[in-house]
Amino acid sequence: MTSSADYCRQYDPYDFADFAQEFLRRNPEYRAQYSKLDGSLHLAPDSKACKEIAHAWGLEFPVPT
């Protein structure tokens, strides 16, 4: 169990970009797309579909290493 003070303290070092990520990761649509991609082994990371998904959220997508 996290206390309220601990909950707040974890955000002390956050900048605007970190807060933006915290809001986005709570987005059900983003979470659904993540689950879908996570289970889709055939989807190439440098494919147009993957890049479009990442860019639609304002994110960069890595190429396979």
Binding stretches for another protein (CB under 8 A): 7-8, 10-28, 30-31, 33-34, 37-38, 41, 45-46, 54-55, 57-65
Least Å distance, CB 12 to another protein, is 8
Pick between residue 1 and residue 60 the one whose CB is nearest to another protein. Answer: 60
Q: Which residue has the tokens 């809001």?
A: 23
**What does the angle CA 63 – CA 60 – CA 45 come to, to the nearest 5 degrees?**
35
Sign of CA dihedral 10, 62, 60, 43: negative
Least Å distance, CB 26 to another protein, is 5
